[in-house]
Amino acid sequence: MPKTRTVTLTARPPVTITEDAWPVIARSSGRSTRRYETPDHECDCYTVRVRQHADGRTIVYAVLEAATAWTGSEDARGGELLPAASDIAAAIDRVGRDIGIPEHMIRECVADLPAEVLS
C-alpha cells in the first residue's frame, strides 16, 4: 500500500498525497538558537518542504513545532498548492514568513531547489 501524507495548507483544506507521486525536491529544517542555555528538547523546530508531482504541480509547506514554555512561540502549519510553472522560490518565501520560519532557513530551502539550466 502506498504511503500517504496529509499536508496542511494555508486558507484552504488540507490535501492528502501519495509520497511516491510527490517526491521532495527541496527542504530545510533545524532548531531555534538561543543565547541562553536551553534544553535541546525545548527548542523550536522548523521544517520547510517542497514536493513536486510529475505534471509540475508543486506543494510548498512549512511546520513550526514550538517549545512554548521556553520560546513563547506557537505551533504553526501552512502551505500552498501551486500550478505547474509557478514561482516556487516566491512561494517558499511567502509560506516561510507566514509560518515564522527563520530567514536563513527560507534561503536554505530556496538554494536546495533543482538548479535552473540556462542555455
96 pLDDT exceeds 90? yes
Residue 119 located in a structural domain: no
Residue 118 located in a structural domain: no
What are the grid coordinates assigned to 43, written together?
A: 527548542
Task: Supply the pLDDT for residue 23.
Answer: 98
Q: Residue 78 forms beta bridges with which residues?
A: 62
Tally of structural domains, the chain: 1
Least confident range from 31-45, 51-65, 101-115: namely 31-45
Mean pLDDT in residue range 18-38: 83
DSSP 62: E
Residue 98 located in a structural domain: yes
- With contact defined as beta carbons under 8 Å apart, do 73 and 98 qualify? no
Strands (E), the chain: 4-7, 15-18, 24-31, 45-52, 58-65, 76-82
Residue 106 located in a structural domain: yes
Domain that holds residue 89: 8-111
Residue 23 located in a structural domain: yes
81 pLDDT exceeds 60? yes
Residues 6 or more apart whose Cβ sits within 8 Å of residue 43: 31, 32, 33, 34, 67, 70, 71
Residue 116 located in a structural domain: no
Residue 2 located in a structural domain: no
pTM confidence score: 0.88
Q: State the average pLDDT for the chain.
A: 90
Per-residue confidence at 72, pLDDT binned at 50, 70, 90?
low
Per-residue confidence at 38, pLDDT binned at 50, 70, 90?
low
Mean pLDDT in residue range 45-61: 97
Residue 63 located in a structural domain: yes
Most confident of 26-30, 32-36, 64-68, 73-77: 26-30
